[in-house]
Structure 1
């Protein structure tokens, strides 16, 4: 025990200096390149039935003992706890610790877990391995280390900023999402966690990604704060060509909202982890409200060198959700900022039908115009910002809400009225005698029957109202709206799509 304590103290003191660590991104890249030169070897994980037969509640009872956390008691800013394999988390990942003295394996120790009421004999598990890990940091209270970022399942991870609760997730990579051929899910096979110094306010994590057609090296620099930043550097090696590569993929949930009411009676006005896709190009900001379609819906926005995109939760009013357990009002928005030029391509949005809030049914990512070929290499860098208090918004007026209702009249008709509220930006500086003009557009599957723009005296913004009719319910109807002052656009673009009705 004395030797272990002294070793821990020695490592803290060593890494507190400025000497180079024994491992970096290039080491992971070499492993990824070597792995790409070999046929894909699907890991054959055989977990005991006592773990694979667990239901969700039983699996949730398995907890890592906080007192066993990595760096507990070392007065470092971060701590690490690990996830136990079981249920559908059956992919074993290798865990390593990077210090100034070298790299060492982090062993699986059953005694570090509390198995709750489950009839599991820890002694029978041996060196089973981990299903992932989570990093803790004092985000909200200097005396308490909260969850900061977690990696668990395939290449999924999710992070938190101050006063946030877990919502949408990110992934290392998406391949053929929404394609008839089926989606391929790359996995992080191995992680290396860099031992932090006493003064560090960021944490570095390396990961090795593997899949049938691609391998990759990843470096995550995690900077906690009001908006936690996850700076990502990756290098991909392609075993084979890929039809649709999804870069910086985000995954979220949308069930219903004010513009698409619940199909069943529910006390909650809205249920979603994200409410819209925001896209920043060189010349335009676009806002597409999310929908819950009745069949798979894939849309995209083409551009060159995107400035940013994200699945956003703009509405922070608890009264619009009324869910004390899930707290949708505190779910993070995630904003992607590319580094360097990404070239021509598109931001693609995939929306999948769902009947409840248990499934993530929304995916957004960047698709390069040129598909990667076998033997090629791709370098990418970008940063994810997990936001709530200071979310990324355009300097223009932005869309505060979208609402939908039936068209006017005593008798029901087949028209809908859409209400779009703009606020902020240049609208705050219009003179009393200035009135913006609403530029509206609808595709050939609909018509605008009437339109209005009025001052919203409550918010100080402006409200656009339009009554529309769709020609063919089996086809999508797309609409756009933007506010103008003279020849200038002074708002982001509202880009709404009404999904087709299945026949």
Structure 2
């Protein structure tokens, strides 16, 4: 293999794009490119397969002393120049800009532009040059070699849209295999990943494979679809991805992932979602922060292969927990931000606008489980929530997988249940007012709202169906919420349970044989174990 440093430092590496046959529409004068190499999606898959049969080798290592000096402060002074954007004048509507490497983004990522002519496709690497960026004259970034690579990229808003494309973007790939998009409320929030490896496995450290190469397919003029191919590399897994991304009222991505295992993986997380949940109206440490709620997502929604709709409110647990929801041929799952009331957050970072992200499987995913990992946190700066699909059969060295799925970055689930949905979960001390509150009693209040409840005949009270993995219920009371909103009901109950192990609770409402609501599924951590309460 030719050494990239030698290759990109050569004169050929700086050949202008016009000389290689591209039109000025791709911003030839602003970017430098390497000579062409053949490209195909099948070839990228073959490359990933070949890599998996060889020992893991990290990407080209840049001078660590330079990267260390591009710290948070210095990195913040570096801005990509919009005039150097890929597709700045077309084709397509969405220019591409690039992120700079630094102390926290150390892995160089190669960016390629595809060119289709005479029924063949070739790829040419975009050679890094510090002239693409605005930065201070004394920035340590000037010391990186020509062709060093980039940290990631983003698609800017449409040039002919209502927003200033130079200041607004709608999808970004940055760091390991992480990527994210804005929803229809024009706000970033949670992230997705290419793959998750051994999240919260007590005997295996978590791995973070990297997207090391991206290939941009020039879009068709006027199209809202952009296509990007990616190569994944990590100690235990390699892969080839195709992303077809559409900018509409939110963002929808069709993902085709082909994965090859170098090693056994204990928790093989497909289509993983990563978010932050510190606290909400459910349960909050006293005076931990002035804001009523702080979270990017407030629950996990699941639509099972059998057709059941589940809602699992998120926890900030006293210790790391992993929950598995067994399923066969799942219809979808996602991390949602259901609470859209600004008064429930009261700050300026727009938690009320954070997108919900739904995974829609394409094809038969077979048997496995939607797994939810919740990690304790004491601040909003940590992503402590992971949701993913884990196949039932063990992930062994030498195996390969292909998963297709669609990601919906929207304000709400793309396939809402016809049933009434859970809109709030609240916990408090159990027992009766005016009497001593027993230490082993916890009061729950769960709210549902929706058309099936609004259509109940006058005087008909829905029946709660409650189950628990241990303990007993008392003072179970369904009642209409006294706010004159049709179909808004709440169920309060006390749970009496000793011990400190987590308790699994389930609740739905029915009338006769008719199910009225989705299933509320909650993991309760008895409060004697909570050191922050």
Normalising by the smaller structure, the TM-score range is: over 0.9
Aligned equivalents of 1:392 and 1:62: distance in 2? 41
Q: Distance in 1 between matches of 2:364 and 2:451?
A: 28
Counterpart Cα distance in 1 of 2:132 and 2:337: 37
Give how far 1:499 is off. Answer: 2.4
Note the 1:121-140 alignment, pairs <5 A.
122=142, 125-138=145-158
Deviations 1:79-116 (A, max 9, x none): 11111110221011111011214211111010111225
2:455 is equivalent to residue 429 of structure 1: yes
Question: What is the DSSP-based 3-state SS (H/G/I as helix, E as strand, rest coil) of the residue aligned with 1:401?
Answer: strand
* 1:168 maps to which of 190, 194, 209: 190
Cα offset, 1:59, TM superposition = 1.9
Q: Tell me, which stretches of 5 or more residues in structure 1 are unaligned?
A: 13-21
Equivalent position to 1:462, from 476, 489, 511? 489
From 81, 98, 102, the counterpart of 1:82: 98
Match of 2:309 in 1: 285
Q: Match for residue 393 of structure 2?
A: 370
Give the aligned partner of residue 56 of structure 2.
Answer: 40
Q: Which residue of 2 aligns with 1:417?
A: 443
Give the 3 Å change call, closer, same or farther, for CA 451–117 of structure 1 in structure 2.
farther
1:179 matched to 2:181? The reply is no
Alpha carbons of 1:123 and 1:350: their partners in 2 closer, same or farther (altered >3 Å)?
closer
Match of 1:451 in 2: 476
Q: Is the 8 A contact 2:198 2:206 kept in 1?
A: yes
- The runs of at least 4 consecutive aligned structure 1 residues that moved more than 4 Å come to 1-6, 389-392
Return the offset for 1:225.
1.4
Conserved 8 A contact 1:140-1:163: no
CA distance in 1, matches of 2:277, 2:260: 34
Corresponding residue for residue 335 of structure 2: 311
User: Among residues 450, 462, 465, which one is paired with 1:439 in the alignment?
Assistant: 465
Match of 1:112 in 2: 132
Residues 1:492 and 2:518 aligned together: yes
Superposed displacement of residue 275, structure 1: 0.3
Find the aligned partners of 1:363 and 1:398 in 2 and give their Cα distance.
Answer: 22
When structure 1 is superposed on structure 2, of 143-152 and 408-417 the one drifting more is: 408-417
1:187 CA drift (Å): 1.2
Normalization by structure 1: what TM-score?
A: 0.92
Aligned to 1:196: 219
1:350-361 equivalences under 5 Å are 350-361=373-384
Contact 2:71 2:104 in 1 (8 A): no
Taking the aligned partners of 2:307 and 2:52, their CA distance within structure 1 comes to 39
Residues 335-388 of structure 1 deviation map (CA, whole Å, 9 limit, x = unaligned): 000011111111110000111000100001011101232222211100110011
Kept in 1, the 8 Å contact 2:338–2:412? The answer is no
Superposed displacement of residue 122, structure 1: 2.0
Mapped to 1, the partners of 2:382 and 2:94 lie a distance apart of: 31
Change (3 A) 1:267 1:449: same
Give 3-state SS (helix, strand or coil) of 2:343's partner: helix
Query: How does the TM-score come out when normalised to structure 2?
Result: 0.87
